[in-house]
Chains A and B, each alone.
Chain A
Amino acid sequence: MGFSVSATFAILFTATLLSIGILYVATENAFGYVKEATSDYNNAFLKAKTSLLEGDLYNYSTISGISLYNITFNVTNEGTTLSPKEWSFIYDGNLVTTAGVVDIQNESYLLPGEVILVTVQNVPKDTLVHSLVINTETGCNLKINWEWVGNITVGWPKLLVSAWYCPVEG
């Protein structure tokens, strides 16, 4: 009888230890996954919070009598390091999917304080307000509005506004 009790206790005790071990490993793994993901989330949040671009008119080129012009903006990084290769562009509301509409300098990174040139090509010399939205990898955007002042023969582009904004939840 005494031996039965000892054997039973030994089996149950071992099973309990094993169960605690299994639960501990599972909890530690789950905690590891969540901790790593939380770190990624915090990094992404911090990067979005500390990113800031400023746009300004740099140059334009056109030929008198031709109804199109190219306009170049200098985009200054006033925040954290960004990756221009991951940026996308929305010109006059439409996503730019073809080459030759918006040109950007071939840089992998834009360090704090650095400037990159972005050129919009073949903009019509009309009276409409044109817009370029530069969407960065953080989801935040730089929007630049400008218009052509003058006519086809004589005129120049005028920067109207440059705004920085980030996506909101809900």
Chain B
Amino acid sequence: MASSVVSELVLFIASLLIAGMVAGGLYMVTQDLSDGITLRGKDLAYNLRVNFAIINDPENIPVSGGAYIFYVRNIGKVPFTFNNNSVVVFIDGNLIPPANLTFTNLDNPGSDKLQPYDIGEIQVVTLLSTGYHKIVVVLADGKQKSLIFKIG
């Protein structure tokens, strides 16, 4: 009789422990899923709020010290990183090496974050022939804008 009670007790404790472990595992997996869903939602919301424009006069691209100057304006609701590690520039489909790009935040010098409505300058060292060209600027989140401009 006594051994039956002990074995029942052992079974009861063992089942509680196993149930607790399963519940703990379920909690951890759920928490991971929950964090993932929240993060994904925040990322998607951020990407929807990022927006920018290349605001140059397409017929008159300024040149300074052999570099063409392009003005980028944040027309979105959130700041974005503006430096040669996070922004990629293509001209006529060719990638401009980061070493040939100089980024300057005109409204907040020294900062590599372009706040909403701020304007930044990209100096591109490259050789361009007379005629029409296309610049494509791509941000870290993949948002891209292009401008067809004319040289000469």
Contacts and interface: CB of A to CB of B under 8 A. Distances in A.
A141 B75 CA distance: 12
Given A8-B18, A95-B106, A167 B54 contact: yes
Interface in A108-122: none
Contacts, number: 145
Interface in A127-170: 131, 133, 135, 137-139, 141, 143, 167-170
A26 B34 contact: yes
A64 interface: no
Interface stretch (B81-89, B125-133, B142-150): B142-150
Given A93-B56, A135-B73, A38 B48 contact: yes
A7 B12 contact: yes
B44 interface: yes
Contacts of A46: none
A61 interface: no
Contact of A18 (B27, B60, B106): B27
Interface bracket on B:
35 or more
Interface stretch (A29-37, A52-60, A71-79, A99-107): A29-37
A91 to B, nearest CB: 9
A131 B34 CA distance: 54
A27 interface: yes
A4 B11 contact: yes
B31 A22 contact: yes
B111 interface: no
Given A7-B19, A40-B49, A167-B147, A131 B44 contact: no
A19 interface: yes
Contact of B106 (A16, A92, A97, A133): A97
B26 A90 contact: no
A90 B73 CA distance: 12
Interface residues on A, range: 35 or more
B62 A133 contact: no
A19 B27 contact: yes
A27 B37 contact: yes
A22 B23 contact: no
A139 B41 contact: no
A31 B41 CA distance: 7
A23 B33 contact: yes
A168 B34 CA distance: 36
A37 B49 contact: yes
A-B pairs, 3 with minimum CB distance: A30-B41, A93-B60, A15-B23
30 contacts: A3-B12, A4-B11, A7-B12, A7-B16, A7-B19, A8-B19, A19-B30, A26-B33, A26-B37, A29-B37, A29-B38, A30-B41, A30-B44, A33-B41, A34-B41, A34-B44, A34-B45, A37-B45, A37-B49, A44-B75, A95-B119, A135-B55, A135-B73, A139-B51, A143-B57, A167-B147, A168-B145, A168-B146, A169-B144, A170-B146
Given A18-B30, A135-B53, 4 more contacts: A15-B23, A15-B26, A34-B48, A141-B55
